[in-house]
Structure 1
Amino acid sequence: MTTVRHDDVVVVSVTGSLDALTAPHLDAAVHNAVATRPGGLIIDLTDTDFLASAGMSALINAQHAAEEHGGSFAVVADGPATSRPLTLVGLDRVFPIYPTLAGGLSALT
């Protein structure tokens, strides 16, 4: 996981798998990110090659954390390993999903 700030938006990028073993790392990164009170939080799954249900739960937790701190939230996901599972379980109706980081940043700034 890497965290980068783009003006008033914090981007947490996940590389590899987002599953039961790595979801707590995302939770910790989100906790640290929202503590800075950004205007927005983006979880970037561009380099994520596996998204398990524990990872999806971590995304929902991230959305709640961002909103509790007054910020907006979005996910960047494109492809069969990430956007497809999110769409299949209906999370595309829970939070916005963008195919590119540029699109997510544009929407949140």
Structure 2
Amino acid sequence: MPDHFESSPSTLMCAHTWRDTTVVITCSGVVDMLTVPDLNQLIATALDKQPSAVIIDLTETTFFASCGMSTLVDTQAQLPPGVPLVVVADGPATRRPLELVGLADVLTIRPTLDIALQELAPAKS
């Protein structure tokens, strides 16, 4: 399985990278019922490698449908206890819909990838 995919041209591009044992899944474009199966497959592939944390970065996502929201909830439910999911979302296409449906109360949402990574970094003594 490749570590990235591109749905129909200029629709959705997702990739995953690793920061130590944290997987960062970055999406750009449209997350809808046509593209979410590919995103789900990418997430499943990443979870098979047992990350210590998962970040889903929606910074470059231009449209985020309810099926994408379901994917976030399902991903969180699949993670073992102690493995956090952080969603990077800011703006009207991503954070606002998550707030409107109440998922901002259920998911950890941060405005930037840097902030998400800083919060997941182990404390230095």
TM, length-normalised to structure 1: 0.93
Pairing 1:107–2:119 present: yes
- Greater relative CO (CA pairs within 8 A, separation 6+): 1
- Identify unmatched segments of 5+ residues in structure 2: 1-13
Q: CA deviation at 1:105?
A: 1.1
Q: CA deviation at 1:12?
A: 0.5
Task: For residue 41 of structure 2, give the secondary structure of its aligned residue in structure 1.
Answer: helix
Q: CA deviation at 1:25?
A: 1.1
Q: CA deviation at 1:35?
A: 0.8
Q: Name the CA distance, whole Å, in 2 between partners of 1:21 and 1:13.
A: 18
Tell me the number of residue pairs that the alignment of Structure 1 and Structure 2 aligns. 108
CA RMSD of aligned residues (A): 1.2
CA contact under 8 A between 1:14 and 1:47: conserved in structure 2? yes
Superposed structure 1 runs of 4+ greater than 3 Å apart: none
Q: Name the CA distance, whole Å, in 2 between partners of 1:62 and 1:69.
A: 12
User: Aligned residues: percent identity?
Assistant: 44
Pairing 1:39–2:58 present: no
CA contact under 8 A between 1:40 and 1:73: conserved in structure 2? yes
Larger helix share, 1 or 2 = 1
TM, length-normalised to structure 2: 0.82
Q: CA deviation at 1:70?
A: 5.1
Could you say which structure has the larger radius of gyration?
2
